Amino acid sequence: MRGQMTVAALAERLGITRSNLHKRIRREGVKTTKVPCSTGGGVQWLTAVPVNYANQLARRYEEARANAEMLAEKAREENP
């Protein structure tokens, strides 16, 4: 599973639901793969995306959050 990150791990990293992340992945046309994950009773197949896409998406989310915080701070200063 080198070079890939599961959708569940990425969703947790971004702080969004897996459902919304799956929708975004489909909308952006990102190629996904199924990776095996052993559980107590057998094997479960998880969806994974390339790690470079995961890092790019995380960077976009961080920039958007920083921008939102800056705008909120500016609004608080203008309207005390």
Q: What is the pLDDT of residues 3-40, one digit of tens each?
A: 999 999 999 999 999 999 999 999 999 999 999 988 88
Residue 80, class by beta-carbon neighbours within 10 Å (0-12 exposed, 13-18 middle, 19+ buried)?
Answer: exposed
> How many H helices and E strands in the chain?
3, 3
pLDDT digit string, tens, across residues 39-60: 888 899 999 999 999 999 999 9
Q: Provide the b/e sequence for 12-27 (b: ≥16 CB within 10 Å).
A: eebeeeeeebeeebee
pTM above 0.75, yes or no: yes
Q: Identify whether the C-beta of residue 13 lies closer than 8 Å to the C-beta of residue 60.
A: no
- CA separation for the pair 32, 63 (Å, rounded): 24
Structure confidence at residue 1 (pLDDT): 60
